[in-house]
């Protein structure tokens, strides 16, 4: 029973009953609680949540007791009144029943068995009287009178029909109960002892705890209350948490002080510990993060990174990677496959193409030629982009076509029409690595490599020789003589053995370097090259992020000259020094004293590839057709013979005149401190405009190199106002090249042609070392002194001192010594660079001898490409910023003179070609990018992302020139720059465009009839015996 339910004056049910009693002329007084002065005084006092014991026991309890007794008296009066009414009703019913009984008796006499029925009724009447007697129990006089009144009848009125009002305290038990309740309430709010807690507080705290349990555990509360051990555990955890035991930060003193922590972190940094581990160590030592918190942080970070690794980044425009068919899928025979390769890659531009400038058809434009250009376009096309490839050449593969040369007879045109001449020398080192890069772009529905295969250069008989070096003075007694040195496959061991055999180097051991200085040098170079990927990856990162990383050994070597390493690691044998200089710098006529160690390391490590070099079966056209097919099947297009005038830039309209003046005043080093205009397309020589749009998702990728992009194809007003990338003005363009394409009558077997490239390298000519006869100290000479410009006269003779006659050897030695000491006088007259037969830098290549499928496709003809540097009759160096070469108007006499000199050199080195040359034609001058000086690798502006929004630069300027691997990596870097991967993606998730394509590409289905090969070919007996004759790895 709760006291809150006792409301006498407001109960609607009771008021209705009292109104019914008033109708019966019966008045019942209302019980009302009236407040006394003591109650009002007690109620006015502030008890602060407590109820006084005196207030209950002394005031409320007597008043409630009086009300209870009054209710008992009123109840007794009601009983008496109802008893009188009941007796009166019974008397009236008895009179009626007697009349009915007399009539019934008369009828019973007439019927048989009437007495039996009367007896049964009497028995039944007695049973009902017994039951009523047991229920009442004689507890009240009125109950006894009611029993006597009902004995004579079986139809009595119930108490409910008498309209008796209910009373709460009608019995003594109910009065005792209310007294007990009041006493309990008094005890509940009363503290018997001063120091003990009042029971009401205990109950209040219990109620509070119950409410807190509901708030904390919610629907889990029933489970926790049924398992008290869980609640105990949770309370213990809460107590520990309140004491700070579960804080992620360390409580108390650190295990080591801050100074010691900084020293430990510095030692870790100096020992090359990765950045993420340094950060974790710093959070433990300096921030004070607890070990368990570090573990949770690592787990949480790995979960986030794993989730990002499986998602496409913002630069992806397609939801899925489209599966493409092979470009030769419709070819029904081997002949049909060969016929495809007789065609140039791409479609020539027509007059109707791009007649009007339209935006929205393409979102990416790639400008350039060659395998690297199409590789970049194919990667971007795989990501859902619509790519437009614009090639300045008539063949997007980069091959030259002799059919378009002038002065060719009809017979020659018929035989050599559409025959490709590979002028770029697509030698592939570490072929399995290149296949991993190429596979995401080449993959078709039937082959992971798009049907492309690679064949090893050379034969088993020549040890799979890939290059033949002719270095003046190396391996011979005179510096004017030369002796060819063959670079065979087999890695470091074969080069070291050949160096010991022909150059007097020490012999290597089977399990190590031994006494071989060349083997030791190659091992050191390989160690430097192990960090090359970190250096080139840093070009994709933000400058602030890349600046936080420690410089790799490759990056440190890239800003130093190769001569410093050669002299230090190979001090005794000048012949070995010249050999290593020639291996490291074959593609440019640049001596080690001017060459960056980066290009030297890259070329050397490519040469020591154990399997040697490989060449694509079908030549670069086969790869280019496969890549172009991927672009076209993804909605793109490859257009050739595009003559570009300049790139298009969109300047913002809100740049006012005052802002322009402010920009001019803030110009420093060719750069302007305000936003650059966005590149969005190209303008052709005939005035047509090709645009990919001015939105943030549209890009123009220039594979032409930095000099053409920012010097020749950038509008003068844009370059003057906004400048060029940082550091470009300090660089130098390498000397352009002249290519001579030579048509030969006969197959490679008939002409005894080698698949190896032949180089003459005056830049690696033998250094003339001198030994002091007294001290025995060796003074090292200068490698490649023949290609360094000197004064025509020595200023030392101007002092009037006597000049002693000296022989040629002494003169060369003194010149080398002055050059190495840096005391070479400033030249007043520069010697003209002129091609000299038998001396100048030259490269001879036979592409048809490298391709095993050539004969099935082109019959009994062969191709030869001779490359030299353009001399001053064809180009002129301008002392500008940057230093660039400009083509001059050369005469027919100068051209004929060079052609005759090249032909003579070719016949001298390959006498079997006498009378076998059907045609020779010169192509060029051809620009080849930046010179490989240390400054090229030191400037920060040589990176794919340029200061101009929407413009990305690729090409070998980013890596190493004259290298298939370098060009592919540069194209890969450009594609990643378009997709906009973050530093976390590259450094910690190993997430890039090729890895993502491998993740999202569908696996090709296997072909029923064996490998799906793009270019069928027949192997010779020696090639069949070699397990690596044709690289058909399907690792991807």
Residue 878: strand pairing partners: 884
Q: Round to whole Å and give the CA distance between 1018 and 175.
A: 120
Cα–chain-centroid distance for residue 545? Answer: 15
Average pLDDT, the chain: 77
Q: Round to whole Å and give the CA distance between 381 and 627.
A: 10
Q: Which of 100-114, 215-229, 595-609 has the lowest mean pLDDT?
A: 100-114
- Condensed to tens digits (0 to 9), the pLDDT of residues 354-405 reads 876 555 588 999 999 999 999 999 999 999 899 999 999 989 999 988 755 5
Instruction: Report helix angle 597-607 to 574-584, nearest 10.
Output: 90
Q: What pLDDT is stored for residue 199 in this prediction?
A: 65
Q: What pLDDT is stored for residue 386 in this prediction?
A: 92
Rg (CA), the chain: 53
**Predicted confidence band of residue 2 (pLDDT cuts 50, 70, 90):** very low
Question: What is the percentage of the chain residues whose pLDDT exceeds 90?
Answer: 33
Average pLDDT of the residues in 485-502: 91
More confident residue, 1011 or 678: 678
Most confident of 262-266, 287-291, 641-645: 641-645
Q: Round to whole Å and give the CA distance between 969 and 974.
A: 9
Average pLDDT of the residues in 653-670: 45
N- to C-terminal Cα distance for the chain? 84
- Condensed to tens digits (0 to 9), the pLDDT of residues 603-649 reads 999 999 988 999 999 999 999 999 999 999 999 999 999 999 999 99
Determine contact, residues 1012/451, Cβ cutoff 8 Å. Answer: yes
Average pLDDT of the residues in 438-461: 90
More confident residue, 93 or 458: 458
The four Cα atoms 892, 894, 899, 900 give a dihedral, to 10 degrees, of 110
**Predicted confidence band of residue 541 (pLDDT cuts 50, 70, 90):** confident
Determine contact, residues 20/163, Cβ cutoff 8 Å. Answer: yes
Q: Round to whole Å and give the CA distance between 348 and 571.
A: 56
Determine contact, residues 346/369, Cβ cutoff 8 Å. Answer: no
Q: Name the helix (H) or strand (E) containing 863.
A: strand 861-869
Q: Round to whole Å and give the CA distance between 968 and 17.
A: 104
Say whether pLDDT at 225 is over 60.
yes
Average pLDDT of the residues in 185-211: 65
Longest Cα–Cα distance of the chain, Å, equals 187
Say whether pLDDT at 23 is over 50.
no
- Condensed to tens digits (0 to 9), the pLDDT of residues 719-742 reads 999 999 999 999 999 999 999 999
Q: Round to whole Å and give the CA distance between 76 and 78.
A: 5
Say whether pLDDT at 699 is over 90.
yes
Q: Which residues contact 647 (CB under 8 A, 6 or more apart)?
A: 679, 681, 682, 683, 700, 702, 709, 713, 714, 715, 951
Side-chain-side CA neighbours of 99 within 13 Å: the count stands at: 4
Average pLDDT of the residues in 671-684: 76
* CA distances from residue 336 to 327, 343, 525 in whole angstroms, order as listed: 12, 12, 46
- Taken in order 226, 232, 235, 237, is the CA torsion positive or negative? negative
Q: Name the helix (H) or strand (E) containing 917.
A: strand 917-926
Q: What pLDDT is stored for residue 978 in this prediction?
A: 93
* CA distances from residue 834 to 592, 841, 901, 903 in whole angstroms, order as listed: 21, 11, 11, 16
**Predicted confidence band of residue 1034 (pLDDT cuts 50, 70, 90):** very low
- Condensed to tens digits (0 to 9), the pLDDT of residues 49-68 reads 444 445 566 666 777 777 77
Determine contact, residues 396/419, Cβ cutoff 8 Å. Answer: no
Say whether pLDDT at 1036 is over 70.
no
Determine contact, residues 441/321, Cβ cutoff 8 Å. Answer: no
Q: What pLDDT is stored for residue 156 in this prediction?
A: 36
Q: Which of 93-107, 125-139, 443-457 has the lowest mean pLDDT?
A: 125-139
The H helix count followed by the E strand count for the chain is 39, 26
Residue 977: strand pairing partners: none
Side-chain-side CA neighbours of 557 within 13 Å: the count stands at: 24
Say whether pLDDT at 298 is over 90.
no
Query: 695: how many CB neighbours lie within 10 A of its CB?
Result: 12
Name the DSSP letter for residue 612.
-
771: phi then psi, degrees, rounded to nearest 5: -115, 130
Cα–chain-centroid distance for residue 609? Answer: 30
How would you classify residue 510: left for phi > 0, otherwise alpha for psi between -120 and 50, otherwise beta? alpha
**Predicted confidence band of residue 547 (pLDDT cuts 50, 70, 90):** low
Say whether pLDDT at 805 is over 50.
no
* CA distances from residue 199 to 51, 188, 193, 783 in whole angstroms, order as listed: 12, 5, 11, 103
- Condensed to tens digits (0 to 9), the pLDDT of residues 393-445 reads 989 999 988 755 556 667 777 778 788 999 987 889 999 989 999 999 999 98
More confident residue, 804 or 381: 381
Q: Tell me the three state secondary structure of residue 709.
A: helix
Q: What pLDDT is stored for residue 652 in this prediction?
A: 76
Q: Tell me the three state secondary structure of residue 237.
A: helix
Q: What pLDDT is stored for residue 136 in this prediction?
A: 43
Q: What pLDDT is stored for residue 624 in this prediction?
A: 94
More confident residue, 188 or 539: 539
Q: What pLDDT is stored for residue 38 in this prediction?
A: 52
Q: What pLDDT is stored for residue 669 in this prediction?
A: 40
Instruction: Establish whether the linkage from the previous residue to 882 is cis, with ω within 30° of 0.
Output: yes
Determine contact, residues 265/304, Cβ cutoff 8 Å. Answer: no
Burial label, 461 (beta-carbon count in 10 A; 0-12, 13-18, 19+): exposed
Question: What is the percentage of the chain residues whose pLDDT exceeds 70?
Answer: 74
Say whether pLDDT at 42 is over 50.
no
Q: Round to whole Å and give the CA distance between 849 and 458.
A: 9
Q: Round to whole Å and give the CA distance between 261 and 282.
A: 8
Q: What pLDDT is stored for residue 486 in this prediction?
A: 93
Name the DSSP letter for residue 824.
P
Q: Which of 69-83, 338-352, 577-591, 711-725 has the lowest mean pLDDT?
A: 69-83
Q: Tell me the three state secondary structure of residue 267.
A: helix
């Amino acid at each position: 029973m709760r006291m809150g339910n006792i409301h006498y004056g407001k109960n609607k049910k009771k008021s209705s009953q009292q109104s019914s009693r008033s109708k019966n002329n019966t008045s019942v007084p209302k019980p009302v609680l009236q407040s006394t002065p003591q109650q009002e005084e007690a109620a006015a006092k502030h008890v602060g949540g407590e109820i006084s014991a005196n207030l209950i026991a002394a005031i409320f309890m007597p008043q409630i007791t009086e009300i209870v007794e009054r209710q008992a008296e009123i109840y007794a009066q009601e009983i008496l009144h109802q008893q009188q009414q009941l007796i009166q009703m019974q008397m009236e019913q008895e009179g009626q029943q007697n009349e009915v009984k007399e009539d019934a008796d008369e009828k019973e006499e007439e019927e048989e068995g009437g007495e039996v029925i009367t007896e049964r009724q009497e028995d039944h009447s007695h049973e009902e009287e017994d039951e009523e007697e047991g229920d009442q129990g004689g507890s009240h006089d009125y109950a006894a009178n009611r029993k006597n009144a009902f004995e004579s009848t079986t139809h009595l009125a119930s108490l409910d029909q008498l309209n008796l009002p209910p009373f709460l305290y009608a019995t003594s038990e109910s009065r005792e109960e209310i007294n007990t309740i009041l006493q309990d309430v008094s005890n509940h709010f009363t503290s018997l002892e001063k120091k003990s807690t009042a029971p009401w507080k205990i109950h209040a705290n219990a109620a509070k705890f119950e409410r807190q349990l509901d708030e904390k555990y919610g629907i889990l509360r029933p489970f926790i209350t049924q398992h008290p051990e869980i609640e105990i555990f949770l309370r213990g955890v809460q107590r520990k948490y309140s004491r700070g035991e579960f804080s992620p930060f360390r409580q108390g003193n650190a295990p080591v002080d801050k100074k010691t922590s900084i020293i430990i972190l510095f030692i870790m940094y100096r020992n090359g510990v990765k950045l993420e581990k340094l950060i974790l160590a710093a959070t433990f030592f300096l921030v004070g993060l607890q070990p368990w918190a570090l573990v949770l942080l690592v787990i949480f970070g790995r979960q986030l990174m794993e989730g990002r690794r499986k998602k496409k980044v913002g630069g992806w425009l397609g939801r899925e990677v489209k599966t493409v068919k092979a470009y030769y899928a419709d070819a029904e025979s081997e002949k049909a496959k060969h016929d495809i390769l007789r065609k140039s890659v791409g479609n020539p531009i027509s007059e109707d193409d791009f007649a009007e400038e339209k935006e929205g058809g393409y979102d990416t434009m790639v400008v350039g030629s060659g395998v690297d250009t199409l590789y970049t376009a194919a990667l971007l096309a795989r990501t859902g982009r619509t790519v437009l490839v614009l090639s300045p050449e008539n063949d997007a593969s980069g091959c030259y076509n002799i059919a378009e040369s002038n002065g060719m007879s009809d017979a020659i045109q018929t035989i050599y029409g559409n025959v490709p001449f590979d002028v770029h020398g697509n030698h592939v080192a570490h072929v399995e690595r290149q296949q991993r890069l190429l596979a995401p772009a080449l993959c078709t529905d039937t082959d992971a490599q798009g049907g492309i295969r690679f064949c090893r250069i050379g034969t088993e008989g020549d040890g799979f020789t890939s290059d033949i070096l002719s270095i003046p003075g190396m391996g011979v007694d005179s510096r004017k003589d030369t002796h060819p040195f063959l670079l065979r496959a087999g890695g470091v061991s074969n080069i070291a053995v050949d160096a010991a055999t022909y150059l007097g180097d020490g012999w290597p051991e089977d399990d190590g370097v031994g006494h071989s200085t060349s083997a030791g040098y190659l091992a050191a170079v390989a160690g430097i090259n192990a960090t090359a990927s970190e250096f080139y990856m840093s070009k994709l990162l933000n400058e602030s992020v890349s600046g936080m990383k420690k410089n790799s050994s490759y990056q440190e070597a890239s800003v130093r000259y190769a001569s410093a390493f050669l002299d230090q690691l190979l001090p005794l044998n000048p012949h070995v020094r010249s050999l290593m200089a020639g291996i490291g710098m074959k593609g440019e006529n640049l001596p080690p004293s001017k060459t960056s160690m980066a290009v030297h390391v890259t070329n050397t490590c490519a040469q020591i590839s154990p399997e040697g070099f490989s060449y694509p079966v079908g030549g670069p056209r086969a790869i280019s057709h496969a890549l172009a097919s991927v672009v076209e099947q993804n909605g793109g297009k490859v257009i050739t013979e595009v003559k570009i005038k300049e790139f298009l830039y969109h300047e913002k309209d809100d740049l006012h005149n005052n802002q322009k003046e402010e920009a001019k005043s803030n110009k420093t080093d060719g750069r302007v401190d305000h936003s650059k205009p966005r590149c969005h397309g190209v303008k052709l020589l005939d005035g047509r405009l090709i645009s990919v749009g001015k939105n943030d998702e549209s890009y123009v990728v220039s594979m032409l190199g930095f000099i053409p992009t920012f010097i020749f194809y950038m509008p003068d007003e844009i370059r003057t106002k906004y400048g060029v990338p940082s550091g470009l003005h300090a660089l130098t363009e390498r000397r352009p090249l002249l290519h001579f394409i030579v048509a030969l009558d006969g197959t490679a077997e008939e002409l005894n042609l080698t698949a190896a490239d032949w180089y003459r390298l005056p830049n690696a000519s033998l250094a003339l070392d001198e030994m002091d006869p007294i001290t025995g100290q060796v003074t090292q000479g200068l490698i490649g002194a023949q290609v360094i410009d000197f004064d025509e006269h020595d200023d030392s003779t101007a002092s009037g001192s006597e000049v002693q006659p000296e022989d040629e050897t002494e003169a060369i030695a003194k010149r080398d010594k002055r050059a190495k000491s840096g005391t070479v006088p400033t030249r007043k007259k520069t010697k003209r660079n002129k091609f000299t037969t038998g001396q100048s830098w030259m490269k001879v290549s036979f592409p048809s001898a490298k391709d095993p499928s050539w004969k099935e496709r082109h019959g009994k003809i062969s191709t030869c490409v001779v490359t030299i540097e353009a001399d001053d009759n064809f180009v002129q160096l301008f002392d500008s910023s940057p230093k660039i070469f400009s083509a001059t108007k050369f005469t027919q006499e100068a051209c004929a003179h060079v052609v005759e000199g090249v032909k003579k050199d070719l016949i001298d080195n390959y006498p079997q070609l006498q009378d076998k040359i059907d045609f020779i034609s010169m192509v060029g001058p051809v620009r080849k990018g930046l010179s490989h000086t240390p400054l090229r690798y030191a400037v920060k502006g040589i990176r794919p992302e340029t200061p101009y929004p929407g413009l990305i630069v690729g090409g070998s300027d980013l890596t190493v020139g004259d290298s298939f691997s370098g060009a592919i990596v540069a194209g890969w870097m450009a594609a990643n720059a378009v997709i906009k991967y973050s530093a976390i993606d590259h450094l910690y998730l190993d997430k890039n465009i090729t890895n993502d394509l491998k993740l999202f590409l569908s696996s090709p289905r296997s072909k029923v009839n064996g490998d799906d090969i793009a270019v069928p070919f027949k192997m010779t007996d020696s090639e069949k015996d070699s397990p690596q004759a044709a690289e058909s790895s399907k690792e991807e």
